[in-house]
A and B are shown apart, each in its own frame.
Chain A
Amino acid sequence: MSVEDRIREQVTGNDIVLYMKGTPQFPQCGFSGKSVQMLKACGAQFKGIDVLADPEIRDGIKRYSNWPTIPQLYIRGEFVGGCDIMTELYEKGELQKLVAGVKN
């Protein structure tokens, strides 16, 4: 299975996926940690994927989304953004709406 197929399966098999450095319990990078905090503040149930533990995914995800950085948030298979865009969405209450939209 190509890395692209692996990623497609991950982002379509879970409602909310955060590609990050480290795990939600132990983020290994400030931006990843901040992203986890925002998702928790929205009460999101999400799957954290540690790219440090999987170098193939770490590079593959950047090609998949044409986005050069980690973390990367996916909701229902769609790339939402990195830490900056998540912060902007969170401050405008839009991230909360995206998360709530998944719950029902």
Chain B
Amino acid sequence: MITPQEIKDLIEAGLPGAQARVSGDGHHFEAVVRSAAFAGKSRIQQHQLVYAALGDRMREQIHALSLKTELPSYT
């Protein structure tokens, strides 16, 4: 079973410079991801960047991941 920490690591490895706060009970997860890479991108594109970072390994669990994306506050 995947853990919040593993999801955080996958996101931050796949999206250099991103900060991810992930919580969850092993089945349903919530992630808030902050990255400068989101600048100028639509919500859909931002979420697609996170899904791409998560890769195929997460494919089955992704549907139980509630995702929020944010830009860093300094922008």
Contact = CB atoms under 8 A, between A and B. Distances in A.
Contact of A81 (B43, B63, B68): B43
Contact of A68 (B44, B62, B66, B68): B62
A68 B43 contact: no
A79 B43 contact: no
Interface residues of B, number: 11
Interface string A56-97: 000000000011111000000001011111001000000000
A67 B44 contact: yes
A31 B44 contact: no
A69 B63 CA distance: 5
A84 B68 contact: yes
Given A67-B48, A68-B63, A82-B47, 17 more contacts: A31-B63, A67-B44, A67-B47, A68-B51, A68-B62, A69-B63, A79-B44, A81-B44, A84-B47, A84-B66, A84-B67, A84-B68, A85-B43, A85-B44, A85-B47, A88-B43, A88-B68
Interface of A: 29, 31, 66-70, 79, 81-85, 88
